[in-house]
């Protein structure tokens, strides 16, 4: 297991609130500090507000990594990837979660709360947290778009 204990920032909209709470509980359980920027209930909210909070914090270096959740994960991905140095990866399967870390050094995990179930979401989270970046030729590729 990769023992990265750096703090994580997390945000979701109303559609993924329950899944966010379960993910947050797991992260606390493994001893990683987490900052929750909302949503704080299932009341309807605008997902960009939370995507902006998480992505801007990662972009500015306040947090090394973040997690975003919404109904499909698509909207949060679009918002997050507008920010410099953010590599948000929508992962709804284990292979994508692992490869987003190994080859793309993703720093924000995005999950669609209405697309996958809780058990798979937790396995995706664990894979994403435990998979290291391979570096090497992949770093050169990331540099091509990370500094646009």
Catalytically annotated residues: 70, 103
Q: What torsion, rounded to 10 degrees, do the Cα atoms 39, 63, 143, 99 define? A: -60
Angle between helix 17-29 and helix 118-130 axes, rounded to 10 deg: 40
What residues form DSSP beta bridges with 70? Answer: 112
Helix H segments across the chain? 17-29, 47-59, 74-80, 94-102, 118-130, 137-146
User: At a CB cut-off of 8 Å and minimum separation 6, what does 127 contact?
Assistant: 94, 97, 98, 101
**CB-CB contact of 75 with 69 (8 Å):** no
């Amino acid at each position: 297991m990769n023992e990265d204990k750096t703090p994580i920032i997390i945000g979701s909209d109303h559609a993924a609130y329950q899944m966010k709470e379960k993910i947050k509980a797991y992260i606390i359980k493994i001893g990683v500090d987490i900052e929750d920027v909302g949503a704080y209930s299932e009341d309807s909210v605008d997902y960009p507000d939370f995507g902006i909070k998480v992505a801007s914090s990662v972009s500015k270096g306040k947090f090394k990594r973040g997690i975003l959740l919404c109904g499909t994960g698509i909207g949060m991905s679009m918002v997050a990837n507008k920010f410099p140095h953010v590599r948000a990866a929508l992962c709804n399967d284990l292979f994508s979660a692992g490869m987003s870390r190994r080859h793309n050094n993703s720093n924000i995990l995005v999950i669609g709360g209405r697309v996958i179930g809780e058990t798979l979401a937790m396995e995706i989270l664990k894979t994403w947290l435990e998979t290291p970046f391979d570096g090497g030729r992949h770093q050169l590729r990331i540099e091509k778009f990370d500094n646009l």
